[in-house]
Structure formats: C-alpha cells, structure tokens
Structure 1
Amino acid sequence: MLKLIKGGKVFAPKYLGVKDILICGNKIGYIRDNIEIKDIDIKIINAEGKLVFPGFIDSHVHVLGGGGEGGYKTRTPEIRLTDLTTAGVTTVVGCLGTDGVTRDMKSLIAKARGLEEEGVTSFVYTGSYKIPVKTLMDSIQEDILLIDKIIGVGEVALSDHRSFHPSFEEFSYLVSEARVGGMLSGKAGIVNIHMGDGKLELDYLYRLAKETEIPLSQVVPTHMGRNASLFKQAVKYAKDGGLIDFTTSTAEKFLDEGEIKSSKALRIMLDKGVNISNISFSSDAQGSLPKFDENGKYIGIEIGKSSSLYKEVRDAILEENIEITDAIKVITSNPAQNLKLKYKGKIEEGNDADIVIVNESDLNINTVIAMGKVMIENNEIVVKNTFEW
C-alpha cells in the first residue's frame, strides 16, 4: 500500500515548509506542495499541525544488554523493538561493552538481524572494550569487508579503569585496520570509543592526528560529557575538526556549569563556536551505568534508555532555544554522515522511508514510520515485539 503524509511541516532536517510526502514501498517517492491520488488504495496520514522529522539514528546501543560490573545479577536485559520505535529510533547500531565474553559477536549479529526482521534498520560494531579486538573472523578488515552488518569497531575503551590500557601503537593499528576495511567495503570503518574518567583523556586521538595520516573523522569518542575536564577537551577537539558524541542517558554535575545534560552540552558547544556537524547524540541504551567511588569501588548501577535520545533533543529545542533544524541533526543527518548511511538521516526523494511525526504543540512523538512501515500511529503501538501479545 502507498502511504501519503499530508500537510506536515517538514524538517529534512532543513526546513522545507508544509509538504506532502508520498511513500512508495520502503522509499520516499515524492515530496511536493500538494499530492492528490485518486482511485488507488492508499493510506493517508494526516500531519496537519505536526512536524515531520527524519527517523532517528541511535548509534550506540547495547542491543544484547550489557554490564555485569556489579556481578552476574547486574547483567542488563536485551532491548525490545518497541523500546526503539516508541523513542522514534528507526536505525540502531549495536555494540558490546565491558563484557565481551558472555556477550559475543555471533549473538550481537543475530540480535541485529532479529530487530531488522521486526522492522528497524540495524547495524553493529565489531569488538568490545578490549584491545586487541576479538573479532568474528580473523581480523577487523575481514569483519568489515565480509559481514554486511558490521560497519566499524567499538565500543573500545580508553582512559578507563575497565579498559585494557592499550599502547598507542596497538590503538593506531586498530584504527588503521578499520579505515582500510571501510575504504575497501564502501563502509565508514568508524571506531566508536568509550571515553572514561582516566588521565589519558584524548591524548591518543591527538597523537593519531599528529603522528599518522588518519583523519580525525575516523573515530568518534563518546561519553564526552562525563566530567568537566573531558568536556573542556571536547570543545577544543571538535573545533579542531574532531567528531564528538554525547550520551543522553547520563548527566554530570560540574561545579562551574551546574548539571550538564546532553541538551545543555549542545547549547554550550554551539555558543563556543563548535560546528553542529561535528556533534552527535547516542543513548547508550541497555548499557549498564555503574557508579564507582573515588577508589574505583562499585557502589550501584542504572540502565541506559533509548527514550533519552529524543528527550534531550526536545529539551535542546524547548529549554535551550536551539533551532529545530540544528537540534535534530545530532540524531539524524550527523550520525548518518559519520557512519556513511547513504539513505538515512534526511527526508529526500529516494531515501529510506524512515519518518517521525511529532506534535507541533509539545514536540511529543505521535507517529513513527520505519522503512515505510507504520510502527507507531497516533501514540499507539502498531507493530509489537515478536513475543508481545
């Protein structure tokens, strides 16, 4: 069935004005001021009084669950389809984390394929915190080249007491492998980096730029709002051309800035002259968010939520007065560009029909379409999880 979205204010993320969007199968067929179709079976979606956004991309999700830093009972559960779709997420990138033993690449790829069968586009990173990376095949290059779902490496951990404290040579070799694998396969070959609280901070990333020919765009350090010092470095790093990612499931309290949520971090970044194209948000959904005291002793745990992704973008618009066209880039066109997802992140003719419709009055999500399939309609779940009745 064809689907026609009528009369919504379209942010592609560039504002296109009030448009009609014709969805043909899983693609955006036409975007016009007015589309009228007669004598054909077609589903009409009334978007008057609503804003139309590209589907959201969550580029760092523990789809298998994660954790275990507080023992076996703290292993977090797998993500469900509706955890994503109710949050407006139509493309997800799965990763392992601290636990690369009881969570492995075979299971990660199987989970990604399952989510895609249910309706959302899914990719994965190869590896976990550990360096050298434990790959599915014999090398990072082989994983990226030969496994369709694998688009990069991650999340590898730096500057963290849970990391494997690699040498710079080990780290630069990893990034080199990912880059070449990406070039040969037409993929991003991106390296997603978990940044911890340690003293190393961004030293390896700056050394990579100084001592090799690898561009800063080959790596995306995440959790960049973790503490005041790392946040300060993030400003300089992004102004130098590096890509940075903020984790929406967490917020830190800095003495000089108060609470730093991702929405506030975005406001400060823009005020300091950082190019919006260098910034992305991801949720760290289903990841364990352990708390440690000053001696590194585990004291408690929380869990990341995919719903935090758009919440922080909405807060950026409503509380931080950031233009809609800028705010939604951090979960649409920016991650699509970073990850070389050609048909994602923008509402354009020929792109995948991933669309989120929100109320203009309160910016709450109303309808979600993934690959042309209506997943959420008028706040009601249309497509449920496989084992939900």
Structure 2
Amino acid sequence: MAAAQPATSLLLVSGLSEFHCPGPPPSPDLTALLCGGNSLLALLTEAQAAALRDLLPVQHIHAAGLVCTPGLVDLHVHLAGGGGEAGPASRTPEAALSQLIQSGLTTVVGVTGTDSVMRSQENLVAKMQALREDLTALHWCGSYRLPPPTATGSVQRDLCLLPSCVGVGEVAVADHRGSAPTSQDLLRLGLEARVGGLLGGKAGLVHVHMGPGPEGLEPLRQALAQSFGQLPISTFHPTHMGRNAWLVQQGDSWLRDGGSLDVTAGSQEQALAALGSWRAEGAPMGRVTVSSDAYGSLPVFDKGGRLVGYDVAAPDSLLRLLRALVGQAGWPLAEALPLMTSNPAAVLKLPHKGRLAVGADADVLLLEPSSLEVRYVIAQGRVVKTPEWTLGGMFERGPGIRPKQPPTEAG
C-alpha cells in the first residue's frame, strides 16, 4: 500500500469555507493554503491557488466548503500505555497511530503515570520516537512518584540532552497512588525543572496530577511561598483540575495569579462545568489547556480504597469536547479551539504549533462545518488521513487503515 506523500512535495488545499485559528481571522477571500516541507507556506485566494496549480506540480485537495483549523495539541497522552491498578492484565494498550490521527491529534506529549516499573522511560521514549515519523511527539520524564524516573539520570539532564523532553510529570499530588510529596519536594523538583528548561531552551514545567485529596493545590502554593519568589507560578502545570468543585474554585485563583492549568476532556461533564465556570467568572482562559489522558487507566475507588470500576481513556475526547463546547454549551468555535491548540502550544513553548500562519508547522485539520467531523488530517505537511483512509502503524489492520510499510534494504 502506498504511504502518505513525501514531506518535500507541495500540498495545495483549496475551496475552504473559512479558517478558524487563534488570533485575528484571515481575510475572507483567503480560502486556500499551500504547504511545503513541514511548513505552511502561504494562505491564498482561489485565483492564486488556480494559478499555482497551472505553474507547479502540486498535490491538490479540493476541500469543498470544509473548515480549516490547526491540528490539535494534546499534552497528556499515555503513549506507551498505562494503568495496572487491577493487576498486570489491566495494563492499558499503547497508542495506535491511526487512532491518534483520526482524533485530530498532530502533536502529542507522552506521559507515564501510576506504573513506572513496567512502563519505563525507555518504553516511552521508544514509542515517542516511532510516532515522530508521522506526528510531532514529545514527552514528559518522570511519573506519579518521586524521585522521578528519567532516561539519563536526572530531570535536568533529560531536559538538556533529550530534544523531546519538555518537563517532568505527571507527579501525583493529593493521590494515594503517589509518593506524598512535601512542599519542599515540589520546590526542589520545580527548581530542577526550571533550570533544566533554561539550559535546554525548553518549557521546563512540572506537570502535576491533581488527585481527589482535600489538600488540592495547597502543596504547590506552599512550594512557591518557600521559594520566596524565586520560582514562578508558571513552573507548575496542574492537570485534572475539573475533578471536583474545590479544585475548580482553587483553579480560578490559580489562573488569576498567573498560573496555567489543564482539564481532562474525557470527563466531559466535569470539563464543561469547570471551563464554563472560569469563563463566566472572567478568568484568563488563555492559560487553560485541555488534554485527553488517552490510553491512561480510569480506576474508580470507593471510600475504603477498594477498586470498584475500571476503564481506559479514549484519544478522541478532545474532539468530542470541542463539539460539546460548540454544540451544547454554545461557545464560538474560535473561543473553544485555543484550549486544545494555541494554549497548550504556548504553555509548552512550541511557537510553530497550534496556529495557522505562514511559517507555522503544517499541522492542519479539515472539518465538516456543522458536525466538526474530521475529513482530512495533515501532519508535518503530509496527508495522513482522507475520507477514504487513515495512516496506521506497521501492524495495524482494519477498514480504511493504510499501514506503514517497513523499510527495505536495496539489493
């Protein structure tokens, strides 16, 4: 089976109904775009697109009234699988390339959670490297526990020496599956991540798993206070912040004090409530991100700590939440979209991601205007999904899946 087109070819998309992207909207007469290599080269009129087709050999997609948005940026994906709270048989599967693509994810950041024994940093980095052939794949070093597991021996070394490492996480706070980090533990980790980020030119964040415990964000607040202003609040990026009303309330203050935070899209009712609350109260939504927690386990424990339910998070939860925000909660698409495009790109210091602009990475979704169903996905300037097929991993099979072909040696 044929692979997606080489990244060196020119790709022209015409016939778009509109662009939806953060920032000022493009002129309405611009209804086409040109990609070359990994970059978006130009936004064009239909006349310019037609002239270009006559002049140059281009791969052409006639979008026929589709909506164009940036590819989604998901900063919390268990790429190598997760879970295990119900024993070895409950370890969740690793990410499937076709599922990530069908979910509109063009940038993913891998994470390790509860299990850092059978889900090692080496597993995570290897999986991330495999995906990087077709998507933008990055990773967090560490896991729920402290000291954090790393690939090179320290958080600072991982940030300096591994191009894909953006920070450390997800470190568990207020959760019985973590290691009960003290405020001093969090302060030391924050300082190490910050220095590693400075030296490596990275975001250098501590991605914090917020559990259901009553302490909430207080350990992070205490760590910041004990730094006497040396550690900025932006160092910590807490996730699962829609988990309960107490965290939502604390999140409002956290945002107003200059912090950023993340909401898990799969818990859709909670996510809609949290996002709606902060929006209604006028909190700065530019520092709010939404992630999927895809392929992570979803254990349910009763008040006695007994496991009473178990499931796995789906990679399409960002798309489903986007549709719910627009169709159910009445958000304009232009207001909902940044939560999963430009906001996470800004938090992670990825200036070429999450936007549609000349010079940005050519990560593009073409959606049905009414249903927001994904019709085409372009990642790094290559078509990886059409209405007829989706690029899949080498061993993926199924209707419409076009598996990658193994490299062969000449002769």
So what's the TM-score if we normalise by structure 1? 0.94
- 2:75 is aligned with 1:59: yes
2:181 aligned residue:
166
Instruction: Quote the offset at 1:82 in angstroms.
Output: 0.9
Higher alpha-carbon deviation: 316-325 or 106-115: 316-325
Percent sequence identity is 38
**Residue pair 1:276, 1:326 contacting (<8 A) in 2 also:** no
How has the CA–CA distance of structure 1 residues 356 and 263 changed in structure 2, closer, same or farther, with 3 Å as cutoff?
A: farther
Q: Structure 2 counterpart of 1:108, which letter?
A: L
2:93 aligned residue:
77
Higher strand share: 1
The separation in 2 between residues aligned to 1:125 and 1:57, in whole angstroms, is: 14
1:215 aligned residue:
232
- 2:302 is aligned with 1:293: yes
1:341 aligned residue:
350
Query: 1:137-156 residue pairs with structure 2 within 5 A?
Result: 137-156=152-171
Query: Which of 42, 57, 62 lines up with 2:58 in the alignment?
Result: 42
Q: Deviations along 1:51-99, whole A, 9 cap, x unmatched?
A: 1100101100001110111111110010110111000000000010000
The separation in 2 between residues aligned to 1:267 and 1:182, in whole angstroms, is: 32
1:134 aligned residue:
149
Q: Deviations along 1:139-169, whole A, 9 cap, x unmatched?
A: 1110100111111101110011111011211
Q: Structure 2 counterpart of 1:33, which letter?
A: T
2:5 aligned residue:
none
Q: Which portions of structure 1, spanning 4 or more consecutive aligned residues, are displaced by more than 4 angstroms?
A: none
- 2:270 is aligned with 1:261: yes
Partner secondary structure for residue 261 of structure 1 = helix
Q: Structure 1 counterpart of 2:42, which letter?
A: Y
**Residue pair 2:102, 2:390 contacting (<8 A) in 1 also:** no
Partner secondary structure for residue 85 of structure 1 = helix
**Residue pair 1:141, 1:180 contacting (<8 A) in 2 also:** yes
The separation in 1 between residues aligned to 2:122 and 2:288, in whole angstroms, is: 31
1:256 aligned residue:
none
The separation in 1 between residues aligned to 2:105 and 2:272, in whole angstroms, is: 18
Query: Which of 138, 159, 162 lines up with 1:123 in the alignment?
Result: 138
Instruction: Quote the offset at 1:47 in angstroms.
Output: 2.4
Instruction: Quote the offset at 1:284 in angstroms.
Output: 0.3
Partner secondary structure for residue 345 of structure 2 = helix
The separation in 1 between residues aligned to 2:286 and 2:55, in whole angstroms, is: 44
Q: Deviations along 1:297-324, whole A, 9 cap, x unmatched?
A: 1112010011011110121111111121
Partner secondary structure for residue 328 of structure 1 = helix
**Residue pair 1:239, 1:273 contacting (<8 A) in 2 also:** no
1:106 aligned residue:
122
1:272 aligned residue:
281
The separation in 1 between residues aligned to 2:80 and 2:331, in whole angstroms, is: 34
**Residue pair 1:333, 1:344 contacting (<8 A) in 2 also:** yes
- 2:212 is aligned with 1:197: yes
Q: Structure 2 counterpart of 1:185, which letter?
A: G
**Residue pair 2:184, 2:223 contacting (<8 A) in 1 also:** no
**Residue pair 1:267, 1:322 contacting (<8 A) in 2 also:** no
2:393 aligned residue:
385
Structure 1: which 5+ residue stretches go unaligned?
A: 252-259
The separation in 1 between residues aligned to 2:76 and 2:271, in whole angstroms, is: 15
- 2:111 is aligned with 1:87: no
The separation in 2 between residues aligned to 1:296 and 1:228, in whole angstroms, is: 21
2:246 aligned residue:
229
The separation in 2 between residues aligned to 1:208 and 1:349, in whole angstroms, is: 41
Q: Structure 1 counterpart of 2:152, which letter?
A: M
**Residue pair 1:97, 1:129 contacting (<8 A) in 2 also:** yes
**Residue pair 2:101, 2:390 contacting (<8 A) in 1 also:** no
Higher alpha-carbon deviation: 327-336 or 11-20: 11-20
Query: Which of 304, 327, 335 lines up with 1:326 in the alignment?
Result: 335
- 2:13 is aligned with 1:5: yes
1:255 aligned residue:
none
- 2:45 is aligned with 1:33: yes
1:307 aligned residue:
316
The separation in 2 between residues aligned to 1:185 and 1:95, in whole angstroms, is: 19
Instruction: Quote the offset at 1:351 in angstroms.
Output: 1.2
Q: Deviations along 1:91-145, whole A, 9 cap, x unmatched?
A: 000010000011101111000000112x111001001001121222221110100
Instruction: Quote the offset at 1:381 in angstroms.
Output: 2.5
The separation in 2 between residues aligned to 1:87 and 1:181, in whole angstroms, is: 32
CA RMSD, Structure 1 to Structure 2 (Å)? 1.3
Q: Structure 1 counterpart of 2:58, which letter?
A: I
The separation in 1 between residues aligned to 2:36 and 2:181, in whole angstroms, is: 49
Instruction: Quote the offset at 1:220 in angstroms.
Output: 0.8
Counting matched residue pairs gives 379
Query: 1:169-184 residue pairs with structure 2 within 5 A?
Result: 169-184=184-199
2:262 aligned residue:
245
